[in-house]
Chains A and B, each alone.
Chain A
Amino acid sequence: MSKEKFPEFVELIKNKGKLFGPVKQKEKYSYEEIKDYSELDFDFQRTIISPKKFITPAKYTTLRFVKFGQTEVLPDDEPQIVMGVHPCDIHAIKILDRLFLGNIKDPYYAKRRENLIIIGHSCLPDDKCVCQSTGTDMVEDGFDLFLTELDDFYLLWVGSDKGLGIAIEAENLLEENVSEEEIQEYVRWQQERSSMFTTSIPSYKYLADIIHLNYDSEVWEQFGEKCLSCGTCSLVCPTCNCFHVDDKIMMNAEEGIRERMLDSCTLPYYSMVAGNHDFRPDRTARLKLYYTHKLKEYIGRWGQPSCVGCGRCIAYCPVDINVITVSNALFEEVCETQEVCDQ
């Protein structure tokens, strides 16, 4: 598809439901509702909040109740389309899908996911992108459509039946034949992109072992002392999905709602159970849980770690505790000499 046709393509998608896309506001990017093509801005690395906000929103009502009855509140049916989703975030959605749509389906997630159309967009890395290390810099599925942006044209990849439907509808805007030069340009672009990554997670392939060997390391204490327990890491992480449930009774004391809101394992009472027993009263233990769960325990349960290298923790932790600083510190801890570390 040539770039001139792109606004028309966006118009066509807009008819399918509520359109969201990356919008620049001051220094930050976020996925906002798009009324006009001109609001879209694809020149970005990451939004503060990942597209998880479309499937596990920060706060929503799941139930309404009165004194002697209740009604479940399911999300509405209107399709939501999100444009400009980068490969890492698509991988994150795949991880969330496995969790929420596995043996026990979460009805709220399932409904939102069913109504979500994901239109991926290619990107170029900055110094915070570590998706090459985590192997999530490329994506083959998990999207409906994916646009690779090259100099004068887009390559449009179809990833689902829904996506195919849109592509067929947009037939007039698309060119079926991709020329030899265009393929060459794509390959060159991919090669160039791969060479642009400047940051990597050390020893990512055996990081789980490093974490295991370092379970009682003092490194955790050092990070625990620094951690503000503010929960930002969990809320910006595209795969963090823990939630907290609270019932709210209205002022008339006759009716109420049940709310589900995003939570973080770094918050003080996260591991509190009945009888006021708290398994992780100190920050160090909670931070250790965050990183061991994400980078190690997840592998045993789901076959891969739940880090997609999006760089949000690197960009948004106010005290520099992130997947790079933590893995670096742990790696250095087990290196006998600096030479081993450098290898």
Chain B
Amino acid sequence: MWQREKKPVVGIFGFSGCAGDQLAILHMEDSTIDFFTSADIKFFHMAQSHQEVPKVDVAVVEGSINTERQLKELKEIREMADVVVALGTCACYGGIQYLGEDVETFKERMEYVYGKSGEVPEFLDLVGQPRPAQPISEYIDVDIMIPGCPISAENFVPIYTKLISGLLPQKYPMPVCVECKYEGNDCFLLHGKYCLGPVTAAGCNATCPSIDISCIGCFGTYEGANYPSMIDKLKEIGLSEEEVIRKLKLFGGNKVEQALKGD
């Protein structure tokens, strides 16, 4: 017997991001009905009107934390959930917004984007004081990470279904290269073209390399990534160190930051 007696209660929460990961769940059209019947979805930020939830078995959290109010809400989610899942690259590693982690106040942010005329609209008061973008793991314990920008259904479903069946998903990190070789693709790095496959977590079935596009690392960091060697390799191909680091940080967020500081 591998399913719980009662359907587990699930909440899907969203913070800062494009909401593409929640959309990816709704887009699994063949299994949408199964998704809403296999568990008791008590809260789904994108699909339902706001409801009060006192407790969930599994909390799936999308997006990065950018304001004081989000931080407070995130901590409440951790309090009421047995298992917390970080959904998508923003929640796992901070996402693209992590690149602007040093621009702190709303005023600075508005001016950075719109120049001196960038005024802070009043409604922003509603969301509370700003914070530099951070992944949710910066503030709370995260049990499972499902990266992706957006997540892929094939990667999400097996992990999610194990959680709602009361099982622990296997943690087995692989880089994109493994899936790329499953597809029998040639290697960009060998032809003098950049590719972030060796430092990027698998889960996408090597979608881009399979259609002849280099991996830009949207699934975030691969746990076994060897950054110093990867940087050397990309420099050998002709990229400057600055370019390499920018490319790595685009989706690698806090993990790349930590790795680069450590070495």
Residues of A within 8 A of B (CB): 26-28, 30, 48-49, 53, 58-59, 67, 225-232, 235-236, 244, 246, 248-254, 256, 261-262, 264, 267-269, 283, 315-316, 318-319
B74 near A: Cβ within 8 Å? no
Docked complex Cα distance between A248 and B165 (Å): 11
CB-nearest residue of chain A to B236: A319
Docked complex Cα distance between A269 and B171 (Å): 8
User: Are B1 and A228 in contact, CB atoms less than 8 angstroms apart?
Assistant: no
| Contact pick for B186, options A48, A226, A235, A261, CB 8 Å | A48
Once A251-B161, A253-B164 are accepted as A-B contacts, the answer to whether A262 and B31 lie under 8 Å apart by CB is no
Docked complex Cα distance between A28 and B171 (Å): 33
User: Are B187 and A246 in contact, CB atoms less than 8 angstroms apart?
Assistant: no
CB-nearest residue of chain A to B31: A251
Collect the chain B residues with CB atoms within 8 Å of residue A225's CB: 226, 228-229
| Contact pick for B184, options A49, A231, A264, CB 8 Å | A49
B150 near A: Cβ within 8 Å? no
Nearest CB in chain A: distance from B91 CB, A: 21
| Contact pick for B34, options A236, A246, A250, A264, CB 8 Å | A250
User: Are A250 and B161 in contact, CB atoms less than 8 angstroms apart?
Assistant: yes
User: Are B182 and A251 in contact, CB atoms less than 8 angstroms apart?
Assistant: no
B123 near A: Cβ within 8 Å? no
User: Are A319 and B229 in contact, CB atoms less than 8 angstroms apart?
Assistant: yes
Report B43-90 residues with CB < 8 Å from chain A CB.
Answer: none
Once A228-B229, A244-B172, A252-B37 are accepted as A-B contacts, the answer to whether A262 and B182 lie under 8 Å apart by CB is yes
B181 near A: Cβ within 8 Å? yes
Docked complex Cα distance between A267 and B171 (Å): 12
B223 near A: Cβ within 8 Å? yes
Report B167-198 residues with CB < 8 Å from chain A CB.
Answer: 167, 170-175, 177-178, 181-187, 189-191, 197-198
CB-nearest residue of chain A to B154: A248
Interface size class on chain B is 35 or more
Docked complex Cα distance between A319 and B55 (Å): 50
Docked complex Cα distance between A51 and B190 (Å): 22
User: Are A268 and B223 in contact, CB atoms less than 8 angstroms apart?
Assistant: yes
| Contact pick for B161, options A27, A67, A253, CB 8 Å | A253
Residues of B within 8 A of A (CB): 1-3, 28, 31, 34-35, 37-39, 157-158, 161-162, 164-165, 167, 170-175, 177-178, 181-187, 189-191, 197-199, 223-226, 228-230, 233
Collect the chain A residues with CB atoms within 8 Å of residue B182's CB: 58-59, 235, 261-262
Collect the chain A residues with CB atoms within 8 Å of residue B3's CB: 67, 253-254
Collect the chain A residues with CB atoms within 8 Å of residue B198's CB: 228-230, 318
Collect the chain B residues with CB atoms within 8 Å of residue A27's CB: 186, 191
User: Are A232 and B177 in contact, CB atoms less than 8 angstroms apart?
Assistant: yes
CB-nearest residue of chain A to B1: A67
Docked complex Cα distance between A236 and B187 (Å): 12
Collect the chain B residues with CB atoms within 8 Å of residue A59's CB: 182
Nearest CB in chain A: distance from B209 CB, A: 12
Collect the chain B residues with CB atoms within 8 Å of residue A49's CB: 181, 184
CB-nearest residue of chain B to A31: B184
Nearest CB in chain A: distance from B29 CB, A: 11
Q: 7 interchain pairs (CB within 8 A)?
A: A27-B191, A49-B181, A227-B226, A230-B197, A235-B181, A251-B34, A253-B39
Docked complex Cα distance between A270 and B157 (Å): 23
| Contact pick for B224, options A48, A229, A232, CB 8 Å | A229
Collect the chain A residues with CB atoms within 8 Å of residue B233's CB: 228, 318-319
Interface centre among B187, B197, B228 (most CB of A within 10 A): B187
Collect the chain B residues with CB atoms within 8 Å of residue A28's CB: 186
| Contact pick for A249, options B28, B161, B178, CB 8 Å | B161
CB-nearest residue of chain B to A49: B184
User: Are A318 and B189 in contact, CB atoms less than 8 angstroms apart?
Assistant: yes
Once A48-B186, A230-B197 are accepted as A-B contacts, the answer to whether A267 and B224 lie under 8 Å apart by CB is yes
Collect the chain A residues with CB atoms within 8 Å of residue B162's CB: 249
User: Are A230 and B161 in contact, CB atoms less than 8 angstroms apart?
Assistant: no
Docked complex Cα distance between A283 and B226 (Å): 9
Collect the chain A residues with CB atoms within 8 Å of residue B174's CB: 231, 267
Nearest CB in chain B: distance from A86 CB, A: 17
Interface centre among B31, B185, B229 (most CB of A within 10 A): B229
